[in-house]
Amino acid sequence: MLTLYIGNKNYSSWSMRPWVLMKQAGIPFEEVKLRFDSFSGDSQFKQRLGKVSPAGKVPVLTDGELVVWDTLAIAEYLAEKFPELHLWPRETPARARARSVCAEMHSGFSALRNLCGMNIEASLPEAGAILWRDHAELRGEVARIVEMWQELLGMHGGPMLFGGFSVADAFYAPVVMRLRTYALPVPADITAYLQRVCELPGVAAWISDALAEKDFLPFEEPYRTASD
């Protein structure tokens, strides 16, 4: 049985990617959620995770004695283990493009990550408007994402980035959450894509679980003193 170790669903964007990928693709797995108490070396989170992964970060996938960490490595492992599911696009050029946009997400968009932390249960349009006004790098990164998504949706005909659901949609699902939470301005066709992603059963299940957590962590939300 595959086991996926994750953090809080409301906050953990990295955990969301493989969880949504597996849930949406119908891959059976056991979930182990490790609550974010802090990220210091002596925290319960780090102590428990350190027994599983040498990297000490979520997500972590285990398959028997095998331990796989890092979202890209997990996605590649799942694609190899379940080739019949076609988690990457079937055609070689599209597959290469999908890997490219996932790698861009994996290593880029630092302003969006740092300024707009994932927080599914919150609605922060006022904070989003201030961040949008004050940070040109944020506006630039969102413009890049919009350009990328429009090109892919146009090229492959939707409803997902490469036609059907793929690793790419799972990788960008946390971006969808951020754009919605902070009400960052995007065109109507991108708003429609955001809605389609949220309606995917795997994404909807993650959102439902995140809303049910009711676990406000102040160190994850320096912009407010309590959840509403």
What region, left, alpha or beta, does residue 26 occupy, with left being phi > 0 and alpha being psi -120 to 50 degrees? left
Domains of the chain from N-terminus onward: 2-85+211-217 (3.40.30.10), 92-207 (1.20.1050.10)
Query: Shortest CA distance to 202 belongs to which of 48, 75, 31, 16?
Result: 16
* pLDDT of 226 over the 70 cut: no
Helix (H, G, I), strand (E, B) or coil at 97: helix
More confident residue, 225 or 16: 16
Question: In this structure, are residues 119 and 221 in contact, taking their beta carbons and an 8 Å threshold?
Answer: yes
Please report the pLDDT score of residue 215 as a whole number: 76
- How much helix, strand and coil, in percent to the nearest 5, is found in the chain? 55, 10, 35
- Region 56-65: what's the mean pLDDT? 96
Amino acid letter for position 144: R
Q: Give me the pLDDT at residue 78, please.
A: 98
Provide the pLDDT for residue 86: 98
Q: Cα angle vertex 186, ends 8, 189, to 5°?
A: 105
pLDDT of amino acid 227:
63
Q: Give the whole-angstrom CA distance, residue 107 versus residue 175.
A: 14
pLDDT of residue 180: 98
Give the H/E segment covering residue 30: strand 30-33
Could you identify the residue written with the tokens 């990457």? 88
Strand partners, 62: 3, 67
| Token output for 175 | 């971006």
End-to-end CA distance of the chain: 38
**Strand locations in the chain, DSSP E?**
2-6, 30-33, 60-63, 66-69
pLDDT of residue 43: 80
Residue-wise pLDDT tens digits, 5-45: 999 999 999 999 999 999 999 999 999 999 887 767 778 88
Q: Is the pLDDT of residue 55 over 60?
A: yes
Please answer whether residues 14 and 57 qualify as being in contact, where contact means their C-beta atoms are separated by less than 8 angstroms: yes
Q: Which residues make Cβ contacts (< 8 Å) with residue 18, sequence separation at least 6?
A: 4, 59, 61, 71, 74, 75, 78, 170
Q: If you count them, how many residues does the chain have? A: 228
Predicted structure pTM score: 0.94
C-alpha of 222 from chain center: 21
pLDDT in tens, 106-148: 999 999 999 999 999 999 999 999 999 999 999 999 999 999 9
